[in-house]
Amino acid sequence: MTAPEPEAPTTAPSRAKDHSPWNWLLFIPIVVPLIPAFFNGDSPRVFGFPRFYWLQLAFILLGVGTTTLVYQMTKKRGGR
Amino acid sequence: MWRDHLTEIIVFSLLFLLVSVMGFVAARWRAPKDMAHLDEWGLGGRSFGGWITWFLVGGDLYTAYTFVAVPALMFGAGAAGFFAVPYTIVIYPLVFLVLVRLWSVSHRHGFVTPADFVRNRFDSPVLALLIAITGIVATMPYIALQLIGIEAVLKTMGVTGDNALARHLPIIIAFAILAAYTYQSGLRAPALIAFVKDSLIYIVILVAVIYLPYKLGGWGDIFAAADAKFDASPNPNDGILLNGNNQLQYVTLALGSALALFLYPHSITGVLASRNRDVIKRNMSALPAYSLLLGLIALLGYMAIAAGVKPLPGNSAGSVDNNTIVPLLFDQQFPDWFAGVAYAAIGIGALVPAAIMSIAAANLFTRNIYKEYLKRDASPAQEATVSKITSLVVKVGAVACIVFLDPQFSIDLQLIGGVIILQTLPAVALGLYTRWFHRTGLIVGWVAGMGLGMWMLYQVASPTRKHFGGSAFPLSEFGFDTTRTIYVGIVAVAVNLAVAALVTLALRAAKVEEGVDGTEPDDYFADEGDPRVTPGTERDADSAREPVA
């Protein structure tokens, strides 16, 4: 945030919720699927799928896991 | 001939009729107190909970065209088509971080469109107009593309005609019905239909990915067949893996498409219709189920290779229409009745996003052109009326695009659409975090990004065309000694940002007036039941509205 914070006691809890350091974790599922060195290969194969395919599909789980974790952790911080 | 596909046609028509009825009934679903209000017609009362949002946004982002075009791309080019998977992984953390803020500020101020937000944040009707026009122009061809999805199915069922009108008659009828129930029920119609659409798609794809590999000899054989096809083709950039030239293109296209997707007005409409921040955040963990589905759908392209599917001829002589491979695969491998279900899934899959897109475009017109420039004191009821009529006009335009123009034109426009919608990123997405940019800087940056993006797209050649041959721009055009390519949109938005920053610095040094920020920092965290939402109305009936300054 760049603008100065006004005095607004009623919304202070939600502010804390949005500024949680847990949010930084969300950069993992943004960055990891965009590095071809991880997935651009054939072996090992899983159920006949080359690594290119199964690993990228597995990144979906990485995304789900991270967003779920961040949601749960930030929810607690907000006290809801 | 269509007589060979009679069972498919009957199943398709029955399911199509079912959702049409649902579309009209939707007006009474979660009945609003007063439908003559843009919040009700255009955002479903901003009241959708977790499940509805999941179906609505899922049905919205994963369109029929995606389901047809992504496997077609895999069929034609191989691994490069799989960008749809990282693309739809990356988008959810981005929405989690960014669009939740847009939801909050829109909730408190009653914004309906991203341009409403920009208007208020940067105190600039001109910038808001540019954002609105960009959104409308980018959305129109996207709607037209949904028709291509339906057409691929109809073509496979043999429903064609000798002249343009006869060939397009089924689509015209389908869109007339769609237009009628969208007019009546607004966003509630696609929300309700999305339940049917997504259920059908999940069933079809689950059956397809279990049954087809079993029939075709297993996944190993499927990948081997694809590999053999690409080895035999003269194109150096296809194959079941990426090569040195297209890796950069792959990741920039995935990132750029993700950034573009959540800036599209129809995605924002879906997000703004949710009830609170938690609904959005929880959905970011649940929506990737669709990404898995899309990844499996993409692989249908390889299954079509393994099954020896030959695409139907295209509109011009000698060309082939790769978009027909998935319908053909179903026709060839499934019993008729199940192929009919699969076709209905694709056909209905076109209706949901088409409805939401036309609503989003109509809202942009109403709020940021009609209300801003034509009738400043428009009442909420008048806004709803104008939006309803505009949604009809938008659909007529989309049908006209397909009937009177070469469908390739819509595909080109959609390619351009992704690049131009990205140019709203500095104002809309970064604007949610900072007001550092000067409004004039953002306008100049937008012009620079648009200009560069258009020029780059014009320069891209493909084996069959000299210009607008794709979005993979060869870096050698910039004088680099390389054969690598990069996604046009990423370069254009980078230049957009750089120009906006430079102009901002210059204007600030010159002390040019910056306007007044209509929002406050804690607007971006407001949640359901916020005490500062414009008072006087019960939330679910008539929420979050204030007169636009």
DSSP-derived secondary structure for B61-130: HS-HHHHHHHHHHHHHHBGGGGGHHHHHHHHHHHHHHTHHHHHHHHHHHT--SHHHHHHHHHT-HHHHHH
User: In A, which residues are within 8 Å of B517 by CB distance?
Assistant: 3
DSSP letters along B324-377, please? GHHHHHHHHHS-HHHHHHHHHHHHHHHHHHHHHHHHHHHHHHIIIIIIIII-TT
Inter-chain contacts counted by CB atoms under 8 A, chains A and B: 129
Confidence of residue B533 (pLDDT cuts 50, 70, 90): low
Residues B456, B461: Cα–Cα separation, whole Å: 10
What sign for the dihedral angle of Cα B318, B319, B324, B330? Answer: positive
Residue B485, φ and ψ in degrees, nearest 5: -125, 160
Q: What DSSP state is assigned to residue B485? A: E
Residues B420, B205: Cα–Cα separation, whole Å: 33
Q: Which uninterrupted H or E stretch holds B472?
A: strand B472-474
Q: Residues 6 or more apart from B350 whose CB is under 8 A from it?
A: B63, B64, B65, B146, B147, B149, B150
For chain A, the straight-line distance linking the first and the last C-alpha, in angstroms and rounded, comes to 24
Q: Is the pLDDT of residue B188 over 90?
A: no
Q: Is the pLDDT of residue B360 over 60?
A: yes
Confidence of residue B316 (pLDDT cuts 50, 70, 90): low
Identify the pLDDT of residue B534.
Answer: 55
Identify the pLDDT of residue B497.
Answer: 93
Q: What is the dihedral of CA B306, B302, B202, B394, to 10 degrees?
A: -130
Burial of A48 (0-12, 13-18, 19+ CB in 10 A): middle
List pLDDT tens digits, range B399-456.
887 777 777 777 777 778 889 899 999 999 998 888 889 989 999 999 999 999 989 8
Residues B415, B471: Cα–Cα separation, whole Å: 7
Identify the pLDDT of residue B540.
Answer: 36
- B86–A27: do the CB atoms touch at under 8 Å? no
Which pair of structure tokens corresponds to residue B244? 């040195």
Confidence of residue A18 (pLDDT cuts 50, 70, 90): low
Q: What DSSP state is assigned to residue B513? A: -
- B223–A49: do the CB atoms touch at under 8 Å? yes
Interface of A with B in 17-46 (CB under 8 A): 17-18, 23, 26-27, 29-30, 33-36, 40-42, 45
Identify the pLDDT of residue B535.
Answer: 39
Q: Is residue B51 part of a domain?
A: no
In this structure, the number of other CB atoms found within 10 A of the CB of residue B195 comes to: 17
Q: Residues 6 or more apart from B486 whose CB is under 8 A from it?
A: B248, B249, B252, B472, B473, B475
pLDDT average, residue stretch B453-470: 81
Q: Is residue B519 part of a domain?
A: no
Identify the pLDDT of residue B317.
Answer: 64
Nearest by CB to B435, which of A2, A34, A53? A2
Three-state SS string over B520-533 comes to CHHHHHCCCCCCCC
Residues B163, B151: Cα–Cα separation, whole Å: 15
Percent of chain B with pLDDT over 90: 11
- CATH code, domain with B268: 1.20.1730.10
Identify the pLDDT of residue B129.
Answer: 92
- B521–A3: do the CB atoms touch at under 8 Å? yes
What sign for the dihedral angle of Cα A72, B429, B142, B253? Answer: negative
- B241–A70: do the CB atoms touch at under 8 Å? no
Which of A25, A46, A53, A75 is the best substitution to test chain B (most B C-beta atoms within 10 A)? A53
Q: Is residue B43 part of a domain?
A: no
Q: Is the pLDDT of residue B523 over 90?
A: no
Residues B349, B336: Cα–Cα separation, whole Å: 19
Q: Is residue B394 part of a domain?
A: yes
Number of domains in chain B: 1
Nearest by CB to B92, which of A10, A42, A67? A67
Q: Is residue B34 part of a domain?
A: no
Reference B266, options B162, B190, B164, B154; nearest CA is: B190
Q: Does A68 touch chain B (CB under 8 A)?
A: yes
ipTM score of the complex? 0.80
Q: Is residue B42 part of a domain?
A: no
- Domain positions in chain A: 21-39+54-80
What domain range includes position B378?
58-310+319-512
Residues B112, B363: Cα–Cα separation, whole Å: 7
Q: Is the pLDDT of residue A17 over 60?
A: no
Instruction: Provide the CA B352 distance to its chain's centre, in angstroms.
Output: 11
Give the residue on A whose Cα is nearest the Cα of B219: A48
Confidence of residue B49 (pLDDT cuts 50, 70, 90): confident
Which pair of structure tokens corresponds to residue B11? 């199943």
pLDDT average, residue stretch A69-78: 73
Nearest by CB to A36, which of B247, B282, B434? B247
The Cα angle at residue B108 between residues A6 and B129, in degrees rounded to 5: 105
Residue pair B426/B497 in contact by the 8 Å Cβ criterion: yes
